[in-house]
Amino acid sequence: MKNHLFAPRLLGELRHYSKEKFSADLMAGLIVGIVALPLAIAFGIASGVSPSQGIITAIIGGFLVSALGGSRVQIGGPTGAFIVIIYGIVSNPSLGLSGLMVATMLAGLFLILLGACRLGTIIKFIPYPIVVGFTSGIAVTIFTTQIKDLLGLRIDGGLPADFLSKWGVYFHHFTTVDAVTAAVGLLSIALIALTPKVSKKVPGSLVAIILMTLGVYFLNAYTGFHVTTIGDQFGEIKAEIPALTVPDLSWENVKGLFPTAMVIAVLGAIESLLSATVADGVCGDHHNSNQELIGQGIANVCTPLFGGIPCTGAIARTMTNINNGGRTPIAGIIHAAVLLVIFLLLMPLAAYIPMACLAGVLVVVSYNMSGWRTFVQLMKNPKSDITVLLITFFLTVIFDLTIAIEVGLLIACLLFMRRMAETTQIKVIADEIDPNEETDALLHEEHLIIPEGVEVYEINGPYFFGIANKFEELMQAMNDHPKVRIIRMRRVPFIDSTGIHNLQNLCEMSHREGTHIVLSGVTPNVYTVLEHNGFCKLLGKDHICPNINVALDRATAIAKRSR
């Protein structure tokens, strides 16, 4: 199945499906559906859209991720990682919901393209400090957006978009804290934290929402207090699937939203593949990363057509699925069906859920998402990793997630190139070579004497643009004109265009000075690259030797001929 371009895991699992598996999947699907309900509502509201849009995303996205993905236990839906970027799009008057639809669909197409090109493993090359940095940054941002609802602050007008201004407004209005609302929010957090100690089967967020909703209903109805509910903020919530809507896919829209769509795609790919990898470790499976990206991509193309927001694999819900017996994609499909039934029958009741309780749910989500222990651990790592971690974190919090990922990747690449350049060493061997320390020398010799008029240079490591000039600088520092320069390349695993250009310049410069260049121990991979670029013809194949013994013999013959 893994060799096919489109091979949903569901098809393979159905071939050996049984009543026992269905019973396990049914129970897991019911529980995950209940767990997903408060999270879908909370993520929808925090993202700046309606509660119903969060649930629609969990229904359609969850169904498609399970039906078409490459993991047998992955649960898809809205997640906290998207909150910041979705809110930024929706709150922008020139973009709004229409812009969000376009960006999400573009992200879906990009994910499909990644999977179709079999680039599912490319996400593994994103440095871990970047992942931790923007994940922790998103967690701090989510926490910041919930302070107003959690404490019941009375703030006229909307909150500013940026982090620092938002906290400035909070401190300015801190005296307007509503004690009852704050009590509801803090009690919700306590219930979510304490429920697992009583029962690991029942989700704490659901317990908090049910109890707080009942308590606030009687509080609002029979006392002089009033705690803001979803209905107060969004009005009546209708239990109906939105009609299919196609957004404006004009070139101007696509071009303007392309960078944002790429960030959504990268976030979705990272989170879904990370979730699938964690699930593999727990249930002893191995997901198809390319098919997983295709499934995620299709889900993100289809979900916006019905008013949904970006979706991806959710680690917490996936782990809930596994821990409750889910072992095939049928459990994820049942989870979507459970949410659909709840949506159609009980959605109007969501209007009574207090906003402070949802804020409490998201505060707990942000805490779990922050990974502060991992963050602290990474602070003990090399300075380059700490630099990438902190820059990505602060850019995410203070500026923008798009900027954070772009700058974080750029800095990580630059630091990686510097680290690679530092691993490549160039040295000069002046007098003799000890064959017992040399892998390409013939060991029947006791010592290899370097003849007069010959210099031996050795390059240890990749010969790429990061170190190409280092070789020229070393030779200029030597400031001599030997008859032959032997360049040992036995430990050069690869060479790039800059390295080849550097060698060509070296040959031309040495030729003008009357110095011959001889290469020793060139690996097959490097030799193929040199030959393909015409370097072998420029230098002469007799000047490219298999080991140092042959190179020294060749250099001796040239030196004698030049006298």
Return the domain boundaries, the chain: 20-240+249-414, 425-561
pLDDT-derived band at 371 (thresholds 50, 70, 90) equals confident
pLDDT higher than threshold 70 for residue 472: no
Identify the pLDDT of residue 388: 87
Identify the pLDDT of residue 434: 57
237 by DSSP, 3-state: which? Answer: coil
Identify the pLDDT of residue 2: 46
pLDDT higher than threshold 90 for residue 138: no
Identify the pLDDT of residue 437: 55
Question: Rounded to 5 degrees, what angle do the CA atoms 301, 304, 310 make?
Answer: 80
The whole-number average pLDDT for the span 280-293 is 89
Q: What are phi and psi of 445, to 5 degrees?
A: -90, 140
Q: Which residue has the higher pLDDT, 304 or 248?
A: 304
Q: What Cα–Cα distance (Å) separates residue 345 from each residue in 27, 55, 239, 338, 560? A: 20, 13, 7, 11, 96
Identify the pLDDT of residue 445: 47
The percentage of residues in the chain with a pLDDT greater than 70, rounded to a whole number, is 93
pLDDT-derived band at 75 (thresholds 50, 70, 90) equals very high
CA pair distance 296, 312, nearest whole angstrom = 6
pLDDT higher than threshold 80 for residue 480: no
pLDDT-derived band at 228 (thresholds 50, 70, 90) equals very high
Structure tokens at 230: 């979803």
Identify the pLDDT of residue 120: 84
Q: Which residue has the higher pLDDT, 467 or 445?
A: 467
Given CA atoms 26, 32, 38, 43 in this order, what sign does their dihedral have? negative
Q: Which residue has the higher pLDDT, 446 or 502?
A: 502
Identify the pLDDT of residue 1: 42
pLDDT-derived band at 563 (thresholds 50, 70, 90) equals low
The residues near 199 (Cβ < 8 Å, ≥ 6 apart) are none
pLDDT higher than threshold 90 for residue 382: no
pLDDT-derived band at 76 (thresholds 50, 70, 90) equals very high
The model's pLDDT over 163-215, given as tens digits with 9 standing for 90+, comes to: 888 899 999 999 999 999 999 999 999 999 999 888 877 788 889 999 999 99
CA pair distance 191, 169, nearest whole angstrom = 29
Superfamily of domain 425-561: STAS domain (3.30.750.24)
Question: Rounded to 5 degrees, what angle do the CA atoms 114, 336, 86 make?
Answer: 55
pLDDT higher than threshold 60 for residue 519: yes
pLDDT-derived band at 293 (thresholds 50, 70, 90) equals very high
pLDDT-derived band at 446 (thresholds 50, 70, 90) equals very low
Identify the pLDDT of residue 243: 82
Q: How many CB atoms lie within 10 A of CB 499?
A: 23
pLDDT-derived band at 419 (thresholds 50, 70, 90) equals confident
Identify the pLDDT of residue 333: 97
Identify the pLDDT of residue 431: 56
The whole-number average pLDDT for the span 348-376 is 90
Identify the pLDDT of residue 363: 92
pLDDT higher than threshold 80 for residue 339: yes
pLDDT, averaged across the chain? 87
For residue 250, give the DSSP letter.
-
**Angle, helices 315-323/19-46, rounded to nearest 10 degrees:** 150
Which helix (DSSP H) or strand (DSSP E) does residue 517 occupy? strand 516-520
Range in 134-138, 261-265, 424-428, 444-448 with the lowest mean pLDDT: 444-448
Range in 24-33, 251-260, 343-352, 397-406 with the lowest mean pLDDT: 397-406
Predicted TM-score of the model (pTM): 0.76
